[in-house]
Chains A and B, each alone.
Chain A
Amino acid sequence: MFEINARLKQSNPQPASEQEGSQFVIQNYAAWKAGLPFQAEVPSARQLPAILAVGGGKGGVGKSIVSANIAATFAQFGYRVLVIDLDLGCSNLHSHFGIAMPKKSLADLLLSRTSSFRDVILPAPTQGVAFIAGGREEVWSDVMDQSSEHLAPLWQGILSSRQQYKVDIVVLDLGAGTHRYTMDFFTCAHLGMVTCLPEPTSIENAYVFFKMTLWTLIDNLGRRLGEVERAQDIKAALSSLAGGSLTAGYAAAFRQLQLSYPLFVQDLLRAIQGRCLGILINQTRDQSDIDLGPSMEHICQKYFGLPTKYIGYLNHDESVLKSLKNRRLLVSDFPHSMIAKRLSVAAAQSLKILGMQRRH
């Protein structure tokens, strides 16, 4: 019932050898590390999993669907994937896998601290995929505005997942909005994928999301370099310099600021270059929706100065709703649907950005 790929049934996916890691992760290790939101011990470049975050600012743009299904598609390509539901307090990733709310969840790891990281990893109904559920809603509400220190076991778990559980790719399913936690998770990713619907509200929120990514990176860097005040200055300067017009985008403002804060901005630009942003257009109905992707890619590069890639698009498809009602994973329920094909294209494109070879 749950097999996607018959070959996977015969033998479990081979654990990755060290050579098969992501080229992107290895090459941009130092730059990526510079922009991390936490001060934890990071394993060496070859022992890191590739981290893919799926965000997008607005709710209902298909973040969880994309996370669950792209993870299953990666697994079809022969990778071991861990999906983590980080929509804290509003989690429903398990529903996309077609399972009821699990007993063990992230809350047990981070709040009550009754479980280890290993204990909260649950098997998904697809070979090669495991996931961590978000946990009961009510328990998160008190914690959301506290400091992010109690997330430390989670960071530790994610970073060491390749060493310990031979996970190749970690997919983070982020929540809506630009909460500090959400942005922290997003900046921690190697490939930050922004899902976006071809409609003005969603596009606006996606751009806000990009802006907040920049802001968070500045914060992170300030904290890391011990120059929090300078980070505040730069943010204030950016706000006054940029905005309103294309020629006065953040990319141009950075060039300005480089004169006043040469070292910090240089580090910042390096941290930005150490990660890649992806744009995924969801629910496309016609060609003009599909063409939106390259346009947004261009705007993001020009305006925000972020390395942005168009990952692909998912067409509007009734089978999404049907599979949810059937309580099964979309790509298992409708493996030959158009949207499954588009997902596989998007997954292949993501792998290409990460510098990974398809194994199947």
Chain B
Amino acid sequence: MIEQLGTESNAMRNTQPSPHQGPSLYELLDVSTQATRLQIREAYIRLKATYASGSQALYSLVSDEEARETLEKIEEAYRVLDDEMLRKDYDDSLGLGRSLGADVFQGEPTRPHKRATLGGETGALINYPSESAGGSEPWMEESIEAKPVLRRMTSLTKIKKFATRAFDRDIKALREPILARPQAFDGAALTQLREIEQVQQSEIQERTKIAIEYIKALENNDFPKLPSLVYVRGFLKIYLQYLGLQDQEAKPLIEAYSEKYNLWREKNRPHAP
């Protein structure tokens, strides 16, 4: 994913909001908009030490109160920028075109807080009347920017633990036939489960961190390409979890899959000399 960050960088940079709108999250963390996750993490650790309570570097310049506020903003910025999803969303709102793979999450039907253009962003910002209480001076405006991000973020983290439609009523109904016959569960059924929820393989990969090859092998019953059983069971568990299956629902499915896997292993076991 990292190598894709560099695309269309400079052309889009010009669309960054002008400085009087307060620092962006990137400016808060002192990193470029093209920074990798590692760079962001390093910057975060450095700044966290800088603004930590009792930090000597702030002596005589910055009050404890302000250091705490800055630290909060930095934490916030890091939480957004460290999460690929949130970061992409934030980049969109800034009008930065940092592409993150070919529209990985297209299948997501209810995308919250989607902001189309930079113009829309500024318009939306004015709609938060409470924030302008922060101060009338131009350089106080940074708090205005930080807060909408906070709001958006909490809702997103909730969603992304599971597939978007994992708990829809009609999805449960559609899943029922597969769950009713756990013995027949195999790769094809797994694919079916995924397609019912309109989730892409790449999303599964992103959220569960299972390598895409293994996801494909699991779904194609391609046992030779799979690692040993312990891993396969682990993969299935988090895969099904992400699709929103309960543990007791997933268990018989995993057992059935393991059985098929073992059968194949038995068959292909090299004969003892």
Instruction: List residues of B (70-112) whose CB comes within 8 Å of A's CBs.
Output: 70
Complex contact B59–A203 (CB within 8 A) = yes
Q: A245-B62, A295-B50, A298-B50 are in contact. Are A255 and B57 (CB under 8 A)?
A: no
Other-chain contact of A296, B57, B63, B66 (Cβ < 8 Å): B57
Interface extent on A, as a size class?
20 to 34
Q: Residue A155 at the B interface, CB < 8 A? A: no
Complex contact B56–A200 (CB within 8 A) = yes
Other-chain contact of A294, B50, B60, B66, B67 (Cβ < 8 Å): B50
B188 to chain A, nearest CB (A): 55
Of the listed stretches A135-143, A215-223, A246-254, A261-269, name the one at the interface; the rest are far from the partner chain. Answer: A246-254
Complex contact B140–A298 (CB within 8 A) = no
Other-chain contact of A203, B47, B49, B60 (Cβ < 8 Å): B60
Q: A246-B70, A247-B140, A252-B139 are in contact. Are A200 and B47 (CB under 8 A)?
A: no
A199 to B49, CA, bound (A): 16
A31 to B184, CA, bound (A): 77
Q: Residue B19 at the A interface, CB < 8 A? A: yes
Complex contact B56–A198 (CB within 8 A) = yes
Contacts of B19 in A (CB 8 A): 255
Interface extent on B, as a size class?
20 to 34
Instruction: List residues of B (124-153) whose CB comes within 8 Å of A's CBs.
Output: 137-140, 142
Name the residue on B nearest A252 (C-beta): B139
Complex contact B60–A247 (CB within 8 A) = no
8 tightest A-B contacts by CB? A295-B57, A295-B50, A204-B60, A200-B59, A252-B139, A296-B57, A203-B59, A246-B62
Residues of B within 8 A of A (CB): 19, 30, 46-47, 49-50, 55-63, 66-67, 70, 137-140, 142
B77 to chain A, nearest CB (A): 14
A255 to B22, CA, bound (A): 12
Instruction: List residues of A (226-271) whose CB comes within 8 Å of B's CBs.
Output: 244-249, 252, 255-256
13 intermolecular pairs with C-beta atoms under 8 Å apart:
A198-B56, A203-B56, A203-B59, A204-B59, A244-B63, A246-B61, A252-B139, A292-B57, A295-B46, A296-B57, A298-B46, A299-B57, A299-B58
Complex contact B66–A246 (CB within 8 A) = yes
A255 to B139, CA, bound (A): 9
A299 to B61, CA, bound (A): 9
Other-chain contact of B139, A198, A247, A295 (Cβ < 8 Å): A247
A298 to B58, CA, bound (A): 10
Q: Residue A303 at the B interface, CB < 8 A? A: yes
B24 to chain A, nearest CB (A): 14
> A74-89 CB contact bits vs B (8 Å, 1 = yes)?
0000000000000000
Q: Residue A291 at the B interface, CB < 8 A? A: yes
A93 to chain B, nearest CB (A): 29
A296 to B50, CA, bound (A): 8
Name the residue on A nearest B60 (C-beta): A204
Q: Residue A207 at the B interface, CB < 8 A? A: yes
